[in-house]
Amino acid sequence: MVKRISVVENIFSANDRLAAENRAMLDQNGVFSLNLMASPGAGKTSLIEHTVTSLAGLFQLAVIDGDIATSLDADRAAAAGAVAIQINTGGDCHLDAVMLNQALVKLNMENIDLLIVENVGNLICPASFQLGTHKNVLIASIPEGDDKPYKYPSMYKGVDALVINKIDLLPYVDFNMNYFREGINILNPAVEIFPLSCRSHEGLDAWLNWIQNIIQPQEQPD
Amino acid sequence: MHELAVTQSVLDLAIRHAEQAQSEKITDLYLVIGELSSFVDDAIQFYWDIIVKGTLAEGSQLHIRRIPAELECLDCGVRFSFSMENYICPECESIRLKIAAGEEFLLEAIEVEP
């Protein structure tokens, strides 16, 4: 005699539950956190280096790095002045909430103001796995081309901020900024956009100010 | 991608509910997957057939129902079906839209024998 049992449960609930736990831990310790995602080579680690170097005097920074191999990126973050932890995913193409949880328990969060999680270089999979960070950030770069919002809608839709790196290369590469921006507008009109160059430093101040204003909100005049 | 991990999650969830109901065999499972979800039905079925061997769900039938993608206008509240050509509100032409349906991935129900 067959019996029907109603379940109605989200399959991602395990990851999402742990992401919520991660967020609770971060909030409890007053840590503001970012999940930084991008294709390989777009400039995640360079942006982290610049962010750490510029803000290390004002805040305590930690970086958790996800890669399938080496500790190259965590080493760079540590050299710039952050507490750095490397996660080697063992072949997994993205970080998930379980891996972040395991790294968070190793971090002395009481002393941290800002945590940057550098995801595995990948424009597809990280979009499906929430980590529990406060903001999701995508770094796009000029040489990757202007059609990426159209081709990777899940990623572009799911982020709170978008850095457009390597703007110093605009004169040398075919890149139609209007077409690019239109694609973003369709998917995510509210996203904060930061065109910059880690190499020439143009536009970095706006990015740093955005972070600073979240950690230490400016008082509004009466 | 990642169908093995999600298929395993489906199995774990189904077994938990079957055990709570003190059943010894799962005969059917009903999945609801949104059109925008990146999971491929054939890959889920492929992994399913492998991982259910020796479990309560061995021999069970997976039923997958796909939900079409719908957008909702944040300005006037109209809902309409999504396509890359259809990304402006047909009512007020706003581009402030949110995805109202199409991203689901849930196990709706299972059928069991005692």
- Tell me which residue range forms the domain holding A87: 13-212
What are the chain B neighbours of A12 within 8 Å (beta carbons)?
6, 9, 105
Class of domain B3-67+102-113: alpha beta
Q: Which of A3, A7, A98 to mutate to test the interface with B (most CBs of B within 10 A)?
A: A7
DSSP E strand stretches across chain B: 25-34, 61-67, 70-73, 79-81, 97-101, 105-113
Q: How far is CA A149 from CA A159, B42, B83, B113, in A?
A: 12, 27, 15, 48
Nearest to A5 among B6, B17, B99 (CB): B17
Strand partners of residue B71? B80, B99
Task: Give yes or no for residue A92 having a pLDDT over 70.
Answer: yes
Nearest to B111 among A2, A8, A12 (CB): A2
Provide mean pLDDT across the span B29-35.
94
Q: Which of B3, B13, B22 to mutate to test the interface with A (most CBs of A within 10 A)?
A: B13
Task: Give yes or no for residue A222 having a pLDDT over 70.
Answer: no
pLDDT digits (tens, 9 = 90+) for A32-78: 999 999 999 999 999 999 999 999 999 999 999 999 999 999 999 99
pLDDT digits (tens, 9 = 90+) for A138-176: 999 999 999 999 999 889 988 999 999 999 999 999 999
> Could you tell me if A93 and A125 are in contact, meaning their C-beta atoms sit under 8 angstroms apart?
yes
pLDDT at A221 (0 to 100): 57
pLDDT at A216 (0 to 100): 84
Task: Provide the domain count of chain A.
Answer: 1
| pLDDT band at residue B49 using 50, 70 and 90 as cut-offs | very high
Determine the Cα–Cα distance for residues A145 and A183; give it in Å rounded to an integer: 12
Whether A221 is covered by a domain: the verdict is no
Determine the Cα–Cα distance for residues A193 and A184; give it in Å rounded to an integer: 10
What ipTM score was computed for the predicted complex, to two decimals?
Answer: 0.84
Dihedral sign for Cα atoms in the order B86, B87, B92, B93: negative
Query: What CATH number corresponds to the domain at position A80?
Result: 3.40.50.300
Domain assignments of chain B as residue spans, ordered by start: 3-67+102-113
**pTM higher than the cut 0.90:** no
Percentage of the residues of chain A whose pLDDT score is greater than 70: 98
More confident residue, A159 or B6: A159
Whether A3 is covered by a domain: the verdict is no
SS3 state at A36: strand
Whether residues A5 and B109 touch (CB distance < 8 A) is answered with: yes
Whether A2 is covered by a domain: the verdict is no
pLDDT at B109 (0 to 100): 97
| pLDDT band at residue B25 using 50, 70 and 90 as cut-offs | very high
pLDDT at A102 (0 to 100): 94
Whether residues B84 and A150 touch (CB distance < 8 A) is answered with: yes
Nearest to A189 among B27, B95, B106 (CB): B95
Determine the Cα–Cα distance for residues A69 and B17; give it in Å rounded to an integer: 39
Nearest to A5 among B36, B104, B112 (CB): B112
CA distance B102 to chain A (A): 12
Give A138-192 as a DSSP string. EEEEGGG-TTHHHH-HHHHHT-SEEEEE-GGGGGGS---HHHHHHHHHHH-TT-E
Task: Give yes or no for residue A5 having a pLDDT over 70.
Answer: yes
